[in-house]
């Protein structure tokens, strides 16, 4: 007996059933979109927290907004093949495209006012496999989780003078970053900075064995400490001028990519925790920066350095940040491409 043909069901009951199915479906969809969950940390909320109270000029990345493009090559020495089967580790030269940048949502920030410097990098193997990454100069991340990072952004923007103190006491892992920010020497060049993945990833070698790793780009240029006060005298864009001039006069700039392999039990899920000394390191190749180009109309402008764009042989670990960064970077990309008419595209457009 087909219950749908049961003539005993009343029309009113059927209408109520239809209404319940539709209402339930719509409510489930609304829940999934997050409309019913104001507590959920969404990419929109993260972007909102990144935006300073006065707003920022539209059309730029929502963080690390100020930067300059470079192109060059990644010279793999072959040692990386013991850790990962990714083609970018096969000995040889792979094309590299990147962006030196400052950790600020303000594209007009004066260079000497921004503590964190960064590098977005895309290494492409000959077959088109891409490895994108976004690294920063501090040796530790200021927060353990994306939620804590969101709280940090809110505390930083807060008018309440006790907000940062409250954040630091609720998130003691912040101390290591704060200590670096206070004591590490400043330098006068993007070329003298190390750039660290901080996040942990999984390298899978040719036999299928997985290695939890972090990596750093260690500069060949000797860092020369300069006080922040002296840097402030060098003009708002001294970093961009310096790197352009340095590559023009001194030639290509180099960084060694050093991969650090975790021991079992190392905190792979928390980029605010440095791994203990003595971990195995493998130098896998050299990044050679050959040419500097302004961001406007430069080759890095339209690239989202999403750290989850990974070739076979590299994958995410239990570190929650790459997923969060991917989600937020995409939001930033969607927003800035929608605002593209406001981006100063040509030199002529700059006032």
Partner 1 sequence: MTSVPHRFTLLQRLLHWLMAACIVAMLFIGAGMVSTVAPKYLPLVSLHKTLGVILLGLVVIRLALRLYYPAPPLPADLPWPMKLAAKLSHQALYGLMIVMPLLGVSMLWAADYPVVLYGGVQIPALLPQSDRLHTLLWNAHFYLAFAFFALVLLHLAAALFHALIRRDGVFETISPLPLRDEAAAAE
Residue 36 binding partner 1, by CB under 8 A: no
Residue 309 binding partner 1, by CB under 8 A: yes
Spell out the residues 6+ positions from residue 205 whose beta carbon is closer than 8 angstroms to its own.
Answer: 81, 82, 83, 84, 85, 211, 313
- The least distance separating partner 1 from the CB of residue 281, rounded to whole angstroms, comes to 27
Residue 228 binding partner 1, by CB under 8 A: no
Residue 144 binding partner 1, by CB under 8 A: no
| Closest by Cα among 248, 278, 250 to 262 | 278
Report d(CA 218, CA 258) in Å as an integer.
7
Give me 191's structure tokens: 């070329």
Q: Looking at 208, 337, 344, 351, which residue binds partner 1 (CB under 8 A)?
A: 337
Considering only the stretches 43-51, 79-87, 185-193, 284-292, report the one whose residues sit in contact with partner 1 under the rule CB under 8 A: 43-51
Report d(CA 136, CA 196) in Å as an integer.
5
Among residues 43 and 105, whose Cβ is nearest to partner 1?
A: 43
Site string for partner 1, 244-283 (x = CB under 8 A): ----------------------------------------
Among residues 62 and 246, whose Cβ is nearest to partner 1?
A: 62
Residue 41 binding partner 1, by CB under 8 A: yes
Q: Looking at 2, 207, 249, 277, which residue binds partner 1 (CB under 8 A)?
A: 2
Considering only the stretches 15-23, 66-74, 172-180, 284-292, report the one whose residues sit in contact with partner 1 under the rule CB under 8 A: 15-23
Site string for partner 1, 148-177 (x = CB under 8 A): ------------------------------
φ, ψ for residue 197 (rounded to 5)? -65, -35
Report d(CA 351, CA 347) in Å as an integer.
9
| DSSP three-state, residue 158 | coil
Among residues 28 and 157, whose Cβ is nearest to partner 1?
A: 28
Consecutive H or E run containing 321? helix 321-338
Residue 8 binding partner 1, by CB under 8 A: no
| Closest by Cα among 317, 110, 307 to 212 | 317
Consecutive H or E run containing 293? strand 281-293
The neighbouring-strand residues paired with 214 are 260
- Other C-beta atoms closer than 10 Å to the C-beta of 156 total 14
Q: Could you give the residue ranges of the DSSP H alpha helices within 142-278?
A: 146-157, 163-170, 174-183, 228-232, 238-250
Binding residues for partner 1 (CB under 8 A): 1-2, 4-5, 7, 9, 11, 14-15, 17-18, 21-22, 25-26, 28-29, 32-34, 40-44, 46, 128-130, 146, 302-304, 306, 308-309, 312, 316, 318, 320, 322-324, 326-328, 333-334, 337-338, 340
């Amino acid at each position: 007996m087909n219950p749908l043909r049961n003539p005993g069901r009343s029309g009113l009951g059927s209408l109520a059933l239809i209404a319940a199915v539709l209402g339930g479906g719509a409510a489930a969809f609304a829940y999934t979109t997050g409309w019913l969950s104001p507590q959920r940390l969404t990419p929109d909320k993260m972007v909102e927290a990144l935006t300073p109270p006065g707003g920022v000029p539209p059309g730029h990345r929502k963080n690390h907004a100020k930067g300059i493009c470079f192109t060059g090559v990644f010279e793999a020495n072959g040692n990386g093949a013991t850790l990962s089967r990714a083609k970018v580790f096969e000995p040889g030269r792979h094309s590299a495209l990147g962006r030196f940048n400052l950790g600020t949502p303000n594209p007009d920030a004066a260079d000497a006012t921004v503590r964190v410097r960064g590098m977005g990098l895309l290494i492409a193997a000959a077959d088109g496999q891409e490895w994108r990454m976004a690294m920063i100069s501090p040796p530790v991340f200021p927060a353990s989780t994306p939620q804590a990072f969101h709280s940090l952004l809110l505390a930083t923007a807060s008018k309440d003078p006790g907000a940062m103190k409250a954040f630091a006491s609720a998130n003691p892992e912040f101390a290591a970053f704060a200590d670096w920010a206070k004591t590490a020497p400043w330098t006068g060049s993007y070329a003298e900075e190390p750039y660290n993945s901080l996040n942990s990833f999984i390298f899978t070698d040719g036999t299928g064995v997985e290695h939890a790793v972090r990596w750093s780009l260690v500069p060949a240029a000797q860092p020369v400490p300069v006080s922040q006060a002296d840097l402030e005298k060098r003009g708002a864009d001294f970093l961009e001028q310096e790197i352009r001039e340095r590559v023009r006069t001194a030639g290509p700039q180099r960084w060694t990519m050093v991969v650090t392999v975790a021991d079992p039990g190392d905190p792979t899920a928390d980029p605010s925790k440095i791994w203990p000394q003595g971990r195995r390191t493998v130098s896998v190749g050299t990044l050679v920066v050959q040419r500097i180009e302004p961001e406007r109309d430069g080759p890095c402008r339209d690239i989202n350095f999403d750290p989850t764009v990974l070739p076979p042989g590299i994958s995410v670990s239990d570190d929650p940040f790459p997923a969060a960064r991917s989600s937020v970077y995409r939001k930033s990309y969607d927003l800035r491409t929608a605002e593209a008419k406001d981006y100063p595209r040509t030199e002529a457009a700059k006032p």
